[in-house]
Structure 1
Amino acid sequence: MDSGLLFSFLAVDLLLVCVPGADWAYVIATALRRGPVPRAVAGLVCGYALHTALAAAGLAVLVAGSPKLLTALTAAGAGYLLWLGWGVLRRPAVPSAAEDTADVRGCFLRGATISGLNPKGLLLYLSVLPQFLTLRGAHLPVPVQTAALGLLHMGCCAVVYVAVGAVSRALLSARPAAARAVARTSGAAMVGIGAVLLVERLTTV
C-alpha cells in the first residue's frame, strides 16, 4: 500500500478515536471502578476485529449498498448508544477505593459488544476506510488492504484507550466530583450522538 495513504488514514483514524464516545465512557468507568482496564480495552479491540473481518470479507460493501440493512444496523447501534448513555447519566461512575476484579469475562464481553455496535465504528468501516483503498493497479488485493487498515485502527484504539484509562485513574480517582462530571458529560454525549444518528437515519429511509 502507498505510505501516503497509510499516514493519511492514520491521521483521520486517530482523530476519530480521540473523539470521546461510548468506548471512552466504558474505559473511564472501568478505570474509576478500578476494574481491569486492559481486559476492557481488549474487548473493545476484539469488537473492531470483528468489524475488520467482516469488511475484509466484503460484507461492508454489501451493507453499504443495502440502505435497509445499513439503516437497521445504524438504528441498532444508535439505540444501544442511547441505552448506554442513559445508564451513565443515571449512575455515573465514581472512584472506588478497592480494586474490582469480579466479572472479568463480563468486562471483556461488554467491551466487545460496545465497540461491535458502536455507530462510530460502522461509520469508519463503511464510509471512511473504503476511501483509502487502492482499487486499481494495487500490489495488494482489496481484502488485504482492508485488513491492514483495520489492524491499524485496532492498534490506535489499544494505545489511546489504555492511555485514557491510565490518565482517568490517575487524575480522577481522588476527585469524585470531577469524575461524576466527566461521566455525565460522556453519557450526555452518547445520548446526543445516538439521538442524532437515529433521527438522521430514520428520516432518510
Structure 2
Amino acid sequence: MSLHILLAFWAVSIALAATPGADWAYVISAGIRSQAAVIPAVFGLFLGYLAITCLVAGGIGALVASVPLAITILTFAGAAYLIKLGISLLRHPPLPKEGDDQETGTRRWITKGFAISGLNPKALLFFLAFLAQFTTLAGAWPVFLQIAVLGTIHIVNCVMIYPAVGFGARSVLRERPMASRITGYASRTIMIALGCLLLAERLMKISSSGM
C-alpha cells in the first residue's frame, strides 16, 4: 500500500472517530460515572471493532452482509441493546459522586462496550464499504492484509480519541452537577435514538422489499 493512501485513510478515519455517536455517548457516560470506567469502556469498544475487522478481513463480513436475514437479526440485536442500555442509564444515571473512582465494574464496562461496537450493523457495513475504497487488487499486499492494516489504523485512532472524550467529560462535568445531568441525559438519549433509527431504517427496507 502506498504512503499517500495510508495518510489519506488516516485523515478520514480521524475525522470519523472525532464525530459524536453511540461510542461517544458511551464513553461520556463512563467518564461521568467514574474515571476508572473510561479505559474499560474504550477497551470494550476496541474489542468490538477488532472483531469486525477480523470478520471483514477474513471475508465473513461480506458473506453476512449478503444475507438479508443475517443483517436484519444483527440490526435488531444491536438496536435493542442500544435502546436497553440507554433506558437503563436513564433510570440509573451515572452521576459522579465521592468514591466513584473505586467503583470500576471493569468487566461490565468492557462487555457493554463490546456489544455497542460489535453488534452495530452500521459498523460492519461501514467497514465493508469504507475500507474497501482504500484497497486495490493490484497492490503488493493481498486485500485481506490491506483491510487488516486499515482496520487497525481506524481502531488506533478511536482508541486515541475516545479516552480523551471520557476523561474530558469527567474533568469538565464533575464540578458542574447540572451540566453533568444534561450531558448524561443527552448521551443516553442519543443511544436510544440511534437504536430506534436502526430499527426504523431496517423495517423500512423490509417493507419495501416485501419481506
TM over 0.5: yes
2:7 aligned residue: 7
In the alignment, is the contact (CA less than 8 A) between 2:78 and 2:115 conserved in 1? no
Q: Output the CA distance in 2 between the equivalents of 1:187 and 1:93.
A: 10
In the alignment, is the contact (CA less than 8 A) between 1:51 and 1:116 conserved in 2? yes
With the length of structure 2 as denominator, give the TM-score of the two structures: 0.87
Equivalent residue in structure 1 for 2:109, among 96, 104, 107: 107
2:37 aligned residue: 36
C-alpha displacement of 1:51: 0.8
1:170 aligned residue: 171
Instruction: Provide closer, same or farther for how the CA distance between residues 49 and 106 of structure 1 changes in structure 2, counting only shifts above 3 A.
Output: same
Q: Secondary structure at the match of 2:133?
A: helix
In the alignment, is the contact (CA less than 8 A) between 2:93 and 2:184 conserved in 1? yes
1:126 aligned residue: 128
- Please identify, of 8-17 and 52-61, the stretch whose mean Cα deviation from structure 2 is larger: 8-17
2:156 aligned residue: 155
Q: Output the CA distance in 1 between the equivalents of 2:164 and 2:4.
A: 27
Q: Tell me the alpha carbon deviations over residues 76-98 of structure 1, each in whole angstroms, 9 at most, x when there is no partner.
A: 21221222222233333211221
Aligned residue identity for 2:13: D
In the alignment, is the contact (CA less than 8 A) between 2:22 and 2:194 conserved in 1? no
Q: Tell me the alpha carbon deviations over residues 156-201 of structure 1, each in whole angstroms, 9 at most, x when there is no partner.
A: 1111111111211110111111111111111222222221221111
Q: Are residues 1:182 and 2:177 paired? A: no
1:195 aligned residue: 196
In the alignment, is the contact (CA less than 8 A) between 1:93 and 1:179 conserved in 2? no
1:67 aligned residue: 68
Q: Output the CA distance in 2 between the equivalents of 1:142 and 1:176.
A: 50
Q: Tell me the alpha carbon deviations over residues 4-35 of structure 1, each in whole angstroms, 9 at most, x when there is no partner.
A: 33233223322332222222222122222223
Structure 1: which 5+ residue stretches go unaligned? none
Q: Output the CA distance in 1 between the equivalents of 2:128 and 2:58.
A: 13
Give the CA RMSD over aligned residues: 1.8
- How many positions carry a matched residue from both structures? 204
Q: Are residues 1:20 and 2:7 paired? A: no
C-alpha displacement of 1:107: 2.4
User: Quick one: percent identity of the two aligned structures?
Assistant: 43
Q: Secondary structure at the match of 1:204?
A: helix
Instruction: Provide closer, same or farther for how the CA distance between residues 11 and 74 of structure 1 changes in structure 2, counting only shifts above 3 A.
Output: farther
C-alpha displacement of 1:102: 4.2
In the alignment, is the contact (CA less than 8 A) between 2:29 and 2:187 conserved in 1? no
C-alpha displacement of 1:204: 0.9
C-alpha displacement of 1:141: 0.5
With the length of structure 1 as denominator, give the TM-score of the two structures: 0.90
Aligned residue identity for 1:19: T
Q: Output the CA distance in 1 between the equivalents of 2:32 and 2:120.
A: 22
Instruction: Provide closer, same or farther for how the CA distance between residues 4 and 71 of structure 1 changes in structure 2, counting only shifts above 3 A.
Output: farther
Aligned residue identity for 2:10: L
C-alpha displacement of 1:120: 4.0
